[in-house]
Amino acid sequence: MVILGIETSTKTCSVALIDGKKLRDEISLHLGLSHSERVISLIDEILKENGIAIKDIEGIAVSIGPGSFTGIRVGVSTARGLAQSLNIPLVGIPSLDGLAFGMETSGELVCPMIDALRGEIYTALYDGRKRLTPHQLIGIEDWLKILKDKGETILFLGEAVDLYENLIKDFLKKKAKIVKKERRYVSAARVAEAGWEKLVSGEGKKYDQVFPLYIRRAEAEVKWEEKERLKKI
């Protein structure tokens, strides 16, 4: 089963192809947030380089967030459009799950973190593939205070680690392990691998049944509500 993976929920724009459990190829670019300009061309590129026609794709896995609102919308809308036109199943993979599920551990808990700005992160805690907490938006220091009470060593990864590595080490000392940069960031390959398991087990959905996981409302929506509130005063 040939699966296309799409990951655009952070500053990384990434596409991947897996065939069965085997990774065929992955292209990842750190573009900032200009994903709308590149994701389709990256899909075309990876298909051509691997001699695969678009009609040969049998399923799609897309990262649904949390992360950048714009990036999530680009990825989900692209995946939905392709799934509709090809009439193939689609699965949505939470960004934090995609980060955590690809990690090999030696018994550590896994803590993926995505920057949410303003000193906040999107995060959750995992034991292998078992998620121990909800996906959540929380202040970095509040989160580290919670983790300080855990007895296990914790493995940290995700783009927010670039910002808060020193703070993590200060709070947790030897209980904190930091993933090396080459394995730290979101990856369409991990999204595709997690999606493959769902697709082969029949959990794929129609294109219009997969939705973004934002957690926090878009800033534009909050500002509009505030304007409407002020009009009534």
pLDDT at res. 32: 64
CB-CB contact of 10 with 114 (8 Å): yes
The CA distance from 27 to 43, in Å, is 9
For the entire predicted model, the pTM comes to: 0.88
Percent of the chain with pLDDT over 90: 74
pLDDT score of 230? 60
Question: pLDDT tens across 109-129, in order?
Answer: 999 999 999 899 999 999 988
Answer whether 28's CB lies under 8 Å from 188's CB.
yes
3-state SS of the chain: helix, strand, coil percent to 5? Answer: 40, 25, 35
Residue 222 is given by DSSP the state: H
- On average, the pLDDT of the chain sits at 90
Mean pLDDT by 10 residues, the chain (233 residues): 94 92 90 73 96 96 94 95 98 96 88 94 94 95 95 95 97 95 90 93 96 74 55 60
What are the structural domains, with CATH classification, of the chain? 2-95+185-227 (3.30.420.40), 96-183 (3.30.420.40)
Q: Give pLDDT, residue 84.
A: 98
